[in-house]
Chain A
């Protein structure tokens, strides 16, 4: 079976800033793939480039076997009902002057499905995300963050997409409602057979939703594998640092923290050799060479001295 989404060597530059330096990954039907990275890693650009909202100068993006990179808005439009997006800001991604009813039936209107009973559709979608039907008449500013996020989910699901691209789906949500959203996404994925790409910096969230994940650093994947493998046998030192930089809600938690030195380097002047070596706690002389992508047992890593191998 061919993957629903196959990204190969995706490259994006804004002027001289090389944001994506060749990103490759694939998402199988019904799978949730998490792309994890910190600010400046290029994670948002990845999904925007896939959706044709950010430029991609080179590489390939295949959706359901069809090349969609650079095919133009006109050719992309009919596919947009199959690829839905969720944005970071729960309230800010909702058009502020529209009622919730108009917001969640917006995809129908855009894709020319006005012959459907839009009131009934709005009701069905609100029910799907566990919001009461009378919310249809509200405006975005009248919703809490969690409720606005649900409206975003309802809108993404409106036309039964095959793939959802979600940018930080739990951003701006309180801990007590964060779980609700993740449960909802898990549940919908099972019921509707959705495939998902989730972009996040929050490893705690990833563990509970993703089947596989990739770690992005300076616009390049440095590690990729099943969620299990990455959490239990991280191979790249950066992954290790990310996993240990996770304060636990327990004052007696043992802190065997691997400190990360400094801050991410500039994308304009990328470091030579391994791009992580200036911050790497394990860097040695060999790291002046450029590490190649090595895959063993479906677990890929870009490191000259990987762990757990």
Chain B
């Protein structure tokens, strides 16, 4: 197995080529900057925030934007800007593990479905369809009722409902690749299924899924916000963009900046990841790269 890993590991130079390729396109550069700043502010949130995002300060409640409070304060006097930054951290804490988990599991199951025996394919497809037939929110309600609200619950719900999407794409890609001549050539040399899937299929599928994942991150962020908005997401007082929106929505006449604080980052994140995903799609394919 060691050489399987050695063969697939992308060299640093290839990653550099991809990043350079994305940055060359204006939209890709915008995406890169937005995503970069979201990630940066999430990682260094504790140094950036001017106030403790959950510390209440009743005398300063419901203030408008000012030099001291960039985006004002909420009904409990908490600094909105600090809560937006901290909310970004929460959003990524949900989106990244959920998507990474869904992609890994979906990829594995999808490739097995596409390459394995027909009965296994049928079984996995049935499983995927069953999961997909649950409305996400209903599913979340059921899980919350069972285990209560927490960050982990949101991650689990998002992951479980996203697996079929990745699984289906991975399966379709595997099905198209399995009859290609280079896979046939591998079979003719006696390559094992693990080798065919790991060394030869995976590198040709992963790019498509990575693009899908980049485009999916904003959906997940919005989903987390939605669940939090409904009170099914992270537990208060943890600041999430959805919670900010919910609080702002209740007080939209008095403090409209709360809605802006919750809504704007969602819009920016959606745009940023979508731009990135679009350009990534062209860049990860070495054939397209050659023609650019």
Known: A96-B204, A97-B203. A110 touches B189 (CB 8 A): yes
Q: Is A237 interfacial (CB 8 A cutoff)?
A: no
State whether A141 touches B287 (Cβ < 8 A).
Answer: yes
A208 an interface residue at 8 Å Cβ cutoff?
no
A213 at the binding interface (Cβ < 8 Å): no
A278 within 8 A of B: no
List of A residues within 8 angstroms of B287 by Cβ: 96, 141
**Given A92-B181, A97-B204, also A51-B186 (CB < 8 A):** no
Report yes or no: A85 in contact with B185, Cβ–Cβ below 8 A: yes
Using C-beta atoms within 8 Å of the partner chain, give the interface range for chain A.
Answer: 20 to 34
> How close is B204's CB to chain A, nearest CB, in angstroms?
6
Given contacts A85-B185, A114-B3, whether A141 and B286 have CB atoms under 8 Å apart is yes
Nearest CB of chain A from residue B122's CB, rounded to whole Å: 19
Q: B189, A80: Cβ atoms under 8 Å?
A: yes
Q: Determine how close the nearest CB of chain B comes to the CB of A153; give it in whole angstroms.
A: 12
Q: Do residues A110 and B181 form an inter-chain contact, with CB atoms below 8 A? A: no
For the complex formed, measure the closest distance between the CB of A170 and the CB atoms of chain B, giving whole angstroms: 16
A77 within 8 A of B: yes
- Which one of B3, B182, B290 lies within 8 Å of A95 (CB-CB)? B182
Query: Could you tell me if A92 and B189 are in contact, using CB atoms closer than 8 angstroms?
Result: no
Q: Which of A89, A95, A96 contacts B186 (CB 8 A)?
A: A95
Closest A-chain residue to B6, C-beta based?
A102
Among residues of A, the one whose C-beta sits closest to the C-beta of B191 is: A110
Tell me the number of A-to-B contacts counted with CB atoms below 8 Å.
70
Residue A76 at the B interface, CB < 8 A?
yes
> Considering the chains assembled together, what is the distance between the CA atoms of A76 and B192 in angstroms?
12
| Minimum CB–CB distance for A32 against chain B, Å | 19
Q: How far is the CB of A19 from chain B (nearest CB, A)?
A: 16
Cβ B187 vs Cβ A93 within 8 A: no
In the complex, which of the residues A53, A81, A111, A155 contacts B187, with contact meaning CB atoms closer than 8 Å? A53
Q: How far is the CA of A88 from the CA of B182 in the complex (A)?
A: 10
* Smallest CB gap from B200: residue in A: A95
Q: Does A87 contact B (CB under 8 A)?
A: yes
In the bound complex, do residue A88 and residue B186 qualify as a contact, i.e. CB atoms below 8 Å apart? no
A106 at the interface (CB under 8 A from B): yes
For chain A, residues 54 to 87, give those with C-beta under 8 angstroms from any C-beta of chain B.
73, 76-77, 80-81, 83-85, 87
Within 8 A of A (CB), among B180-229: 180-182, 184-192, 195, 199-200, 203-204
Chain A residues with CB below 8 A from B190, complex form = 73, 76-77, 80-81, 110-111
Is A107 among interface residues, defined by CB-CB distance under 8 A? yes
Contact indicator A102/B181 (Cβ below 8 Å):
no
A68 to chain B, nearest CB (A): 13
Nearest 7 CB-CB pairs, A to B?
A80-B190, A97-B203, A93-B181, A85-B188, A77-B190, A87-B181, A95-B182
A-B contact pairs, 12 of them (CB 8 A): A80-B190, A84-B189, A92-B180, A92-B182, A94-B185, A96-B204, A96-B287, A98-B7, A106-B191, A110-B195, A111-B189, A141-B286
B interface residues with partner A (beta carbon < 8 Å): 3, 7, 180-182, 184-192, 195, 199-200, 203-204, 286-287, 290
**A83-B188, A92-B181, A96-B182 are known contacts; what are 6 more A-B pairs with Cβ within 8 Å?**
A53-B187, A84-B188, A96-B287, A110-B186, A110-B190, A110-B195
